[in-house]
Structure formats: structure tokens, C-alpha cells
Structure 1
Amino acid sequence: MRNVLLIAELSLREALRKRLVLILLVLTALFVGFYLYGILRLQHALDDRAISAGLDVRPEGGRRGLTGASVAFSAIFGMYLVYFLGSLMSVLSTVGAVSGDIESGVMQSVVSRPVSRGQLVVGRWLGFSIVNVAYVALLSAALLVGVRVITGFTSPQPFAAVALVLVAVLLLTSLTVLGSTVFSTLSNGIGVFVLYGLGFTGGILSTIGQFAATPVLVTLGNLANTLMPSNALWLGASYHLQPDYVLRLNELARGANPFISTTPISAGTVVWALAYALLALVLAVLAFRRRDL
């Protein structure tokens, strides 16, 4: 265990040395500031319309109806961007976790030390998981708190939503580490993004199948979501971000929006995603033990 924590610490220091964390903080601050400025302008526009109509600018209990839905949708879309950026971060930061050291020749000197290959893989996974999870958690908090301060809108179950997004981040991190022990850095990045696209395609197919009452498309979508449940986790998160009046509005649209869901995610899907992430890590350890350097 000590070696695992040591490798994780070295991975964190490597991220700091490469200024990965600094770059992320700067870009994240720009993203959050830009997005919240848009929310602020939206809030000012809604306030002006309320004043013109002789209504309360900040009604007790918050805005409802179409004006309230516009704020809620803005918060939900902002969290979708957080999910997307977290997914991108999970792949790009981890894509060379093992393969990068092999290609640079550093791995030969590392494995000659009293550290097993399994400990190396788990330590790498742990270090990058800490970076990715912390990044998404802080980004989610900044966005949701910012929306709350500006508009007064609070998502019904923000902690449950963020937790599901973090599960997706862990899953993508584990799959990327697995690919890094088997493929080259470039091939690994392409492969994981294809899997990510598969999950997104599954959500689109399920939405079209439900809207058009086509069971075959729904089945294909469910199969894709099983093979790559990252998008299913986001859809589950989106359910917890919607107040009741937005849920009713989306139900009237018969689920025509592929980016949000009107039904909660099943416990089985969450368990499968966690088991999938653990299985990917185990396979990464086994694959690296067998790999010739």
C-alpha cells in the first residue's frame, strides 16, 4: 500500500510539474466566469421583464413557469458542460499514464525498483483519479453556487447529481488507464473517445426510440449504454437537477431532449458503472503484468 501511495504522490507531483493543475485552474476560472456572466445577463433580462410587467423581481420561492425553466435549463446545461469537461479531462490527463512512460523509456528504470507492476498501475490510477475527481467537484461547486448566488435557483438534489458525474469520471479514468497498459498513447485516446461516443449515441438512440415508439432503437440504445454507461450516468444526474415544474415540462415533450432525463437512474446501472470501473482497473493490472517492455 505504501508503494501505491508513493506512486500516486509522484503522479500528482508530475501533474504539478507539468503545470497541468495551474493550466486547469486558469481555464476553469475563465469558463466559470464566462458562463456565470451569461447567467447574470439572463437574470438582468428577466428582472427587467418582471419590472415592466409589474411583477416581483425576486418572487418568494423563486421563479416558476417559463422564466424559472430558463434559469433551471441554464444550470442544467452548465452542469452538462462540467460533465463534458470532466470527461475530457479524465481522458487527456490519463491517456499516457503507463504508455507514455513506456514510449519515453522511463518505465524501464521504474520497474527495476522495488515496486511491482500492479502497484505502479494502481498508484497511477489513484493519482489521476484524485486530480480528476477534485477538478470536477470544484468545478461543479463553483457553477452551482454561482447560479445560486446570481439567480437564487438551487437544484433539487445537487449532491446526488454531482456524485453521478464523479462516477462517470472514475469510469473514464479507469478505462483510460486500462487502454494505456495495452495500446499506444494515441490509440488509447482514440479508443476511449470512441467508447465515450458510443455512450452518447446510446442516449440519442434511446431518445429517438421512445419519441417515435420504436422498441428496436430503444434496445440498441440500452445496449450501448450498458457497454458504456457514462452518458446514462449523466442522464441520471440531470434528473436530480430538475425542479418539479421542469420535469413536468419535459414529460409533456415525451423525452424529446436527449441531454436530460425525466426518470431517475436505476441503482443497477450505478452499481454496474462502479463494477465496470473496478473491472477495468483489475484488467489494467493484469495486462501490464503480462506486457513486454
Structure 2
Amino acid sequence: MRNALLIAELSLREAVRKRLVVVLLLLTAAFVGFYLYGVFRLEGTLDQRAIDAGLEGRSASGAANLPVMYATLFGMYLVFFLGSLMAVLSSVGAVSADIESGVMQSVLARPVRRAELVAGRWLGFTLVNVVYVALVSAALLTGIYLISGFVPPAPLPAVGLVLLAITLITALTVLGSTLFTTLANGIGVFVLYGAGFAGGILGAIGSLSDSPTLVTLGRVANTLMPTNALWLGATYHLQPEVLLQVGEATRGANPLFSTVPIASGMVAWAAAYAALAVLLAMWRFSRRDL
């Protein structure tokens, strides 16, 4: 465990040395500022409409504030997508890149077990990705609150589910890094991510059209890659009652948002899936012929 933590620390230092953290902070600050400026202009427009209608003000959780609520949901979806993209790109070569460059031979010459190396790599990249998504989520939700006064009903469980999805993606990417080349690993993880997204679309279409086959296909895809199911579960905690009622009236036609909470079994499966991916990566690399 000590060596694994040392490798994790070295991974963090590597990210800082390559200016990954600095570039992320600058670009993310620009993204959050750009998005919040849009919310600010939207808030001004809604206030003016309320004045024109002879209203003294708008309720932050009322139907008149639906545009801000949707802006919050789509903003968090962008955070989830950016976090997923970062999780793949940051760890796609966690092991394979060092093997391809020949660095791995010099690393393994030291008293570090292969399993410890994989665990340390996963811990380091997961810490970077999770902290990044948590900070961006906090900045976005806090900014929207300061501008409009709107606060999602349960932001902490929502962000927690998103962070679990990011942890799972990082674990699967590290696993792929022990099995495939860097390029093949990146393609494979993105295909899995797309399969999870397709599961959400199929499930939404199946619910709208009362098609048990599509609903079943959606569940299979979400089981194979639960990231989209975790996102849908997060959206349930981000929506106030008025927004849930709108979603129920449309019978879940929007594949990006859900009107029902995620099953506890799916959350447990996603956590177990991530742990199994890391353990399998440790086992596979320990027996891989370099």
C-alpha cells in the first residue's frame, strides 16, 4: 500500500509537471465563466418578463423559473461529459504508454510490485479526476445560486453519483491500459461510454412507445456500462417537483433526464464494477509478459 500511494503521488506530480492541471484550471474557469454569463443574461430576461407581466418576482422553485432549472441540468451534464472525457484522456496510457516508450522496464527494476504500480496509477488519476469534477460542479451550482437563487433539491447525492461514474470510467480505462495499446484502449472505452449513452436513449424510447424490448435493451446497455444510469440518477436529485412533473407528463421522452431515482442495486453494481476493474487490472499486469 505504501508503494501504491507513492506511485499515486508521482502520478499527481506528473500531471502538474505536464501542466495538465494548469491547463484544466484555465480552460475550466473560462467554461464556467462563459456558462454563468449566459445564465446571468437569462435571469435578467426572465426578470424583465415578470415585470412586464405585472409580477413582483419569481419563485426560484416555481414554473416561471423552468429555464434556469434546465440551464442547471444542462450545465451539470456538460460537467459530467467533460469529466468523463478527462477521465479517459488522462489515464488512457496509464500503463500502456510506459510500456510502449520503454520506461516501464526501468520502473519495474525498482522494488515496486506490478500490482502496486497499477493501484497507484489508478489512485492518482482518480484523485485528479474526482477533485476536478467536484470543484467544477461546486463552482457551477454556486454561481447559479448567486445569480438566480435556485438550488437543486439534493445536490450532494447528485454530485456523488457523477463522481462514482468518473471513478468507474477511470478504473475501466486503467484496466484497458493493461490489456491493449494506448490507441485501442481509448477507442474501446469511448465505445463503452457510447453504449451506456445508447442505453439511456433506448430506455427513453422504449418507455415512450411502451416497447418492452427496447426497455430491456436499455437495461442491458446500462448494466454493461452504468455511467449513463448514474447520470440519470443524478438528474433526479437535481430536479425540483415542478420539473419532475413536466418529465412525467412527457413520459420520460428526454433521454438526458430521469424522473425516477436510480435503483440502489445499480449504484452497488457500479461501485463493485469499478473495484473489479482495478483488481483485474492489477492481476492482469502482474502476469503480463513485457
Q: Match for residue 117 of structure 1?
A: 114
Aligned to 1:62: 60
Give the structure 2 partner of residue 9 of structure 1. 9
Amino acid at match of 1:178: L
Matched position secondary structure for 2:260: coil
1:141 equivalent to 2:138? Answer yes
Provide the aligned C-alpha RMSD in A.
0.7
Q: Distance in 1 between matches of 2:240 and 2:66?
A: 9
Q: Distance in 2 between matches of 1:105 and 1:41?
A: 53
SS across alignment from 1:265: coil
- Helix, strand or coil for the counterpart of 1:147? helix
2:125 maps to a residue whose letter is F
Letter in 2 for 1:184: T
Residue 29 of structure 1 aligns to a residue whose secondary structure is helix
Q: Distance in 2 between matches of 1:181 and 1:76?
A: 35
* Percent of residue pairs identical: 66
Deviation at residue 63 of structure 1 after TM alignment: 5.1
Deviation at 1:165, TM superposition (A): 0.1
**1:148-159 aligned within 5 A:** 148-159=145-156
Q: Does 1:240 align with 2:237?
A: yes
Mapped partners of 1:63, 1:143: distance in 2: 18
2:61 and 2:240 in contact (8 A); partners too? no
Distance in 1 of aligned mates of 2:115 and 2:40? 49
Match of 1:270 among 263, 267, 276: 267
C-alpha distance after superposition, 1:47-79 (max 9, x if no partner) = 11111112123x4x52511x3111111101100
- Which residues of structure 2 form unaligned runs of 5+? none
**AA matched with 2:97:** G
Q: Find the aligned partners of 2:88 and 2:278 in 1 and give their Cα distance.
A: 15
- Superposed CA offset, 1:200-240 (max 9, x none): 00000000001001100000000000000000000000000
- Aligned pair 1:208/2:205, yes or no? yes
Aligned residue identity for 1:194: V
Note the 1:1-293 alignment, pairs <5 A. 1-57=1-57, 59=58, 61-62=59-60, 64-65=62-63, 67-293=64-290
Residue deviations 1:20-66, cap 9 Å, x none? 00010011001100100110010010011111112123x4x52511x
What is the distance in 1 between the residues matched to 2:195 and 2:60?
38
Match of 2:138, as an amino acid?
A
Alignment size in residue pairs: 290
What SS class does the counterpart of residue 253 from structure 2 fall into? coil
Find the aligned partners of 1:285 and 1:39 in 2 and give their Cα distance: 45
The 2-side partners of 1:99 and 1:2 are apart by 23
Task: After TM superposition, give the deviation of residue 247 of structure 1 in Å.
Answer: 0.3
Task: Output the CA distance in 2 between the equivalents of 1:116 and 1:245.
Answer: 54
| 1:108-151 per-position Cα deviation (integer Å, ceiling 9, x unaligned) | 00001000000000000000000000000000000000000000
Provide the rounded CA distance (Å) in 1 between the counterparts of 2:288 and 2:30.
42
The separation in 2 between residues aligned to 1:82 and 1:92, in whole angstroms, is: 15
Per-residue deviation, residues 139-195 of structure 1 (Å, max 9, x unmatched): 000000000000000000000000000000000000000000110000000000000
TM-score under structure 1 length normalisation:
0.98
CA distance in 2, matches of 1:109, 1:144: 45
> How big is the shift at 1:199?
0.1
Separation in 1, partners of 2:225, 2:107: 33
- Report if aligned partners of 2:199, 2:220 keep a CA contact under 8 Å in 1: yes
One-letter identity of the residue aligned with 1:120: L
